[in-house]
Amino acid sequence: MTRILISTLLLTAVVAAGAAATFEPAERYFPPLTAADRTNLAAGKRVARFFDDPAQMELLPDTVYSAEIRASLIELAPSIGVEALYLLPLPDSLTQRPDFVLRTYNVLRSISTMEGIEYYSASRERMRVFYVESYVIDDPESRRAIRDPLVSEIPPRDRIYAYQEDSSFGRNSYELDYSHRRNQIGLSMVNLTRMSYGILPLVRPGNLEIHLAVIPTQDGLLFYGNCGVRVIGLFGMQDRVQASFQNRIDAIYRWFSARISSEFGL
């Protein structure tokens, strides 16, 4: 429960609908990066790291909530962790629009549009559908599908529930906590159901955390994704399971960047 409460308070942004904001350069938020990492980000490529100790995470952007993110994951004590950083370049004329942050926030609430997104399967050497089904539900018990809860004004915090069937871990329900403060939009997800890899039970309820942060900057949107998971057992499949969680972050970013392009006609 502590992890969930912490998650609802971190990764946030404050932008009043109807007023443009002044953003800082992306470098303002960068963690220590190598020259190669910076070159990759500038070229639109992701920078990623695996971790098993949240205290040793290397890519968490330099923000006021970094300590809270680490604390949440330290409490989880993940056996597998992956973090990734992406930079989506956007023109100033777009990021300075009064409705830019609101519309970006609503992209993250468009859960139904995640259905059908793909990822590259190295084992199959081809693209594969990641989310077979994806939609918002009214509550975890009834799991009745409802429309994406888009808003006309960003609330300080909000919680919704979602059901997703993905190609790696089957059918599961999630709790999603949204927040916003200081020009940063955040989403934290926790699994509510046991997740299995094929026939093998892998993750108990509450043992998967996904943290996303979307930071508007002068250079575009800085996107940070983090997935920490405490597994029941790896059954000799650590590399495959790690790759599955990396694919999850990559697929979410691919969906997000495509939706931003569609939303703003890029």
What is the pLDDT at residue 18?
A: 44
What is the pLDDT at residue 126?
A: 77
Yes or no: say if 247 and 130 are a contact pair by the CB < 8 Å rule. Answer: yes
Q: What is the mean pLDDT of the chain?
A: 86
Neighbour count for residue 92 (Cβ, 10 Å): 11
Q: What confidence tier does 33 reach under pLDDT thresholds 50, 70, 90?
A: very high
CA 49-55-56 angle, 5° bins: 35
**Domain covering 2-263 assigned CATH 3.40.50.720 in the classification:** no
Q: What confidence tier does 118 reach under pLDDT thresholds 50, 70, 90?
A: confident
Task: Kindly list the distances between the CA atom of residue 109 and the CA atoms of 18, 158, 223, in Å, as whole numbers in the listed order.
Answer: 19, 11, 16
Q: What's the whole-model pTM score?
A: 0.87
Within 13 A of 169's CA, how many CA atoms are on the CB side? 26
Residue 7 has pLDDT above 50, yes or no: no
Q: What are the tens digits of pLDDT across the range 193-225? A: 999 877 788 899 999 999 999 999 999 999 999
Among 56-70, 81-95, 152-166, the range scoring the smallest mean pLDDT is 56-70
Residue 10 has pLDDT above 70, yes or no: no
CA distance 263 to 97: 13
Residue 4 has pLDDT above 50, yes or no: no
Residue 66 has pLDDT above 90, yes or no: no
